[in-house]
Amino acid sequence: MKQTNKPNIIIFLVDAMRAQSVSCYGFHLKTTPNIDKLAREGIRFENAFTSINTTDASITSIMTGKHPTRHGIHNQAEKVTKTEISTFFARKNQMLQSILKEQSYHTFGLDWLGRWHKTGYDYYLKITEIKEKKMFFQNLEKMLSKIKPLHKLMVRLYFSEKLNWLTNKFKPYSDGLELAKKAESIIKNNKNHPFFMFIHFWDTHAPYNCSSALQKKFFEKNQPFIPMKHLINQLKDKEVRSFYEALTGYQNDARQVIARYHASINYCDEMIGRITTSLRQKKILDNTIIFITADHGESLVEHNILFDHHGLYEQNLKIPLIIRYPKLGKGKVVKNLAMNLDITPTVIDILGIRKRFDKDNGKSLVKLMQGKEKRKYVFAEENYLQKKRCIRSERYKYIFPQKGFRKCKRCGYVHGGVEELYDLKKDPKEVKNIVKKNPAVAKALRKEAGKFFKEDINEKEKIVFVVDEIRI
């Protein structure tokens, strides 16, 4: 798709924002009025997924248009090895910001992940101050955690609305308002030069940043009480139980934490609204390609996963994916399987840049939207708290263990089963594992997964080995 007048490009990435909590994806609370408006003005992909359930590898997939098995980054944060980073550069992966810089774009990264992520940006948020704040808060928390009453008081103050102005200074990431103000400044000072902005909102990452007033607004008092103590007591390790007590603000009712999550989405939505208003005022909104997506979703107690994103279930893999760009159309809903790693190939297609992606990686969403391409399967993996992979078709999801799989490192047990198969048409919540009753379906999906992951998978032999490990 050739482009003469280069459009600006913005990717809004809301960390851990699952599709089922976004109102234009059918959620019953109005969490995202501004995102909903952009969806009405653009194209919404109904069935969009991530390739992995952790941030570092997922954002790398978005920016390269490649699956983790192809770009080489599989782990998260401190678990990313030097070998992975060396492999990433040895494979000559090129990030979207570097590609656009070659096309005379000014590139801005409003994020703090650093490392290989900052490659190719003209401007990248200062991460030194954030690291110092994070270390200060972690050291303070570690010291106070030995005295539970003091620690409990500290956590209560952290979540207090009256002290929000202070606690924001010690959050291990930039507040959404800080990002919005920086984006507004970039837009205001832009001198008719095409720009690319990657804006990564962290407020939706646990423990979920929002005001107490906003939390109250999204508290669903008509829903049944969810006892937090009962959920936490299912966890095997004492330190993990203490971790979750602090993470959830020592709440007695999980509905309060769920309300914080939905309020934090609403807060990020407000910031997105501020930034798009700046584009309208500058009269460049219609010449800006806007993407809205997430790196992964979030479990809010589903599958006994507490306010985290381990597990390859729909809560963690199914994400929002919206494009607003008038030249592509308005008010469309696309049901074809899509992925957030399709964003870079889409930009390249729209701009008419010559760059090829092999069939196992991202596809142009323009072609998916037009029906010129169709994805038959989505492949995903997890490597942080569990080691599993999955293949998902329109109807079925098959989840299987990787070598070295044991119990969930955080929860102390196996979620869902060592090997899992779900009929998403009959069982969209993935509560009934039908792998034993449908061996033929599992075998067919296992074969397709083997082709993608480039492995000779003898699942029967491997699963027996893994089950033996679990019994030990």
- The confidence score (pLDDT) of residue 137 equals 60
Q: How many domains does the chain have?
A: 2
Domain hosting 411: range is 386-471
H helices within 190-237, ranges in order?
A: 212-217, 228-233
pLDDT surpasses 60 at 54: yes
| Size of the chain, expressed as the number of residues it contains | 472
Shared-domain flag, residues 116 and 258: yes
Residue recorded with tokens 């407020």: 203
Stretch 132-146: mean pLDDT: 60
Shared-domain flag, residues 405 and 370: no
Strand ranges inside 113-255, DSSP E: 123-124, 195-201
* 349 within 8 A of 1, measured Cβ to Cβ: yes
Mean pLDDT of the chain: 88
Domain boundary residue, one of 341, 375, 409: 375
Shared-domain flag, residues 443 and 304: no
pLDDT surpasses 90 at 158: no
* Chain segment 351-362, per-residue pLDDT in tens: 999 877 666 789
- The confidence score (pLDDT) of residue 131 equals 56
* Chain segment 430-462, per-residue pLDDT in tens: 999 999 999 999 999 999 999 999 843 444 434
Q: Measured between alpha carbons, how far is 472 from 467 in angstroms, rounded to an integer?
A: 9
* Chain segment 198-221, per-residue pLDDT in tens: 999 999 999 898 888 899 999 999
Q: Measured between alpha carbons, how far is 38 from 387 in angstroms, rounded to an integer?
A: 36
Q: Measured between alpha carbons, how far is 278 from 185 in angstroms, rounded to an integer?
A: 9
Shared-domain flag, residues 304 and 407: no
Express as a percent the part of the chain with pLDDT over 70: 84
pLDDT surpasses 90 at 427: yes
Closest CA to 93 of 74, 116, 109, 75: 116
Q: Measured between alpha carbons, how far is 469 from 406 in angstroms, rounded to an integer?
A: 7
Among 94-98, 152-156, 373-377, the range scoring the smallest mean pLDDT is: 152-156
- The confidence score (pLDDT) of residue 144 equals 57
- Residue 136: how many other CB atoms lie within 10 Å: 13
Shared-domain flag, residues 405 and 448: yes
- The confidence score (pLDDT) of residue 458 equals 42
Residue recorded with tokens 């993608």: 452
Strand ranges inside 154-259, DSSP E: 195-201
Strand ranges inside 294-424, DSSP E: 318-319, 321-324, 332-339, 378-382, 388-392, 396-401, 420-423
- The confidence score (pLDDT) of residue 192 equals 82
- Residue 65: how many other CB atoms lie within 10 Å: 29
pLDDT surpasses 80 at 168: no
Name the DSSP letter for residue 299.
B
Confidence at 471, pLDDT banded by 50, 70, 90: very low
Shared-domain flag, residues 361 and 396: no
- The confidence score (pLDDT) of residue 454 equals 80
Kind of pairing between the strands at 195-201 and 318-319: unpaired
The answer to the question of residue 187 being in a domain is: yes
Express as a percent the part of the chain with pLDDT over 90: 74
- The confidence score (pLDDT) of residue 170 equals 60
Stretch 79-105: mean pLDDT: 94
Q: Measured between alpha carbons, how far is 59 from 205 in angstroms, rounded to an integer?
A: 15
Shared-domain flag, residues 264 and 406: no
Shared-domain flag, residues 62 and 181: yes
Shared-domain flag, residues 371 and 390: no
CA 244, chain centre distance (Å)? 21
* 136 or 40, greater pLDDT: 40
Shared-domain flag, residues 248 and 366: yes
Residue type, 260: R
Token pair in block for residue 202: 């962290």
Confidence at 404, pLDDT banded by 50, 70, 90: confident
CATH at 212: 3.40.720.10
* Chain segment 172-191, per-residue pLDDT in tens: 667 899 999 999 999 999 88
Shared-domain flag, residues 79 and 13: yes
Among 87-91, 151-155, 249-253, the range scoring the smallest mean pLDDT is: 151-155
Exposed/middle/buried for 333, CB within 10 Å: 0-12, 13-18, 19+?
A: exposed
> Reduced to 3 states, what is the DSSP secondary structure of residue 422?
strand
Domain boundary residue, one of 323, 349, 375: 375
- The confidence score (pLDDT) of residue 157 equals 62
Stretch 75-80: mean pLDDT: 90
Stretch 417-430: mean pLDDT: 97
Helices (H) and strands (E) in the chain, counts: 18, 13
- The confidence score (pLDDT) of residue 464 equals 34
Token pair in block for residue 396: 């079925």
Shared-domain flag, residues 197 and 80: yes
- The confidence score (pLDDT) of residue 246 equals 83
Stretch 6-32: mean pLDDT: 98
* Chain segment 289-300, per-residue pLDDT in tens: 999 999 999 999
Token pair in block for residue 54: 């952790």
* Chain segment 299-344, per-residue pLDDT in tens: 999 999 999 999 999 999 999 999 999 999 999 999 999 999 999 9
